[in-house]
Copies of this chain bind each other. A is one copy, B any other.
């Protein structure tokens, strides 16, 4: 049961190599060699090198989207929802760093058929965040003068960029980083009124690290 299938070995190896050298910096031959597989084994499991790239993209975006949707369902005010989404989003970087690196570096090279599927899920994810911000403004928790799109993209950008500098064994835990982001974002978007309330109720950020 500890035995990994050939397919899993190939994916793990490919992730490691793609993260370091980029999709085009790694040949199928090298993936095959380093995963103790063979050309035949590779093409038995994947239609093409492109399909492997797609698979990596899909695993990641599917996971993130599900987490965001779960967070939306499990909480019931915009502020809590936003915090939960960000927290789960940031935490993904711990488990899926190679996936994410590949996702943001190599998506240019997805074949149209594949990139369309990926983009649909990616847009869905964006919409969840936009929706929460929109609802937060309507509910009076978030500042009304905010632009939903730019605010959303600011948050997404801030968090996504983490993949460029986060080191899993660095000085800060992923939870600490998430807490910083949330602090940063809440200071920006909450109304003065909501900030007062939040000071009393958002202690859950400190204690509840397992949001999902």
Contacts and interface: CB of A to CB of B under 8 A. Distances in A.
A63 interface: no
B154 A158 contact: yes
Interface string A177-201: 1001100110111000000000000
Number of chain copies forming the complex: 2
Interface residues of A, number: 31
A43 interface: no
A90 to B, nearest CB: 11
A120 B25 CA distance: 23
A4 to B, nearest CB: 27
A138 interface: no
A80 B67 CA distance: 39
Interface in A1-41: 21-25
Interface in A73-107: 105
- Is the contact region of chain A dominated by helix, strand, or loop, or is it mixed? helix
Contacts of A105: 105, 108
A146 B19 CA distance: 31
Contacts of A164: 157
A180 B154 contact: yes
Contact of A184 (B151, B156, B165): B151
Given A150-B180, A150-B181, A187-B188, 9 more contacts: A147-B180, A151-B184, A153-B161, A153-B162, A157-B157, A157-B158, A157-B162, A158-B158, A184-B189
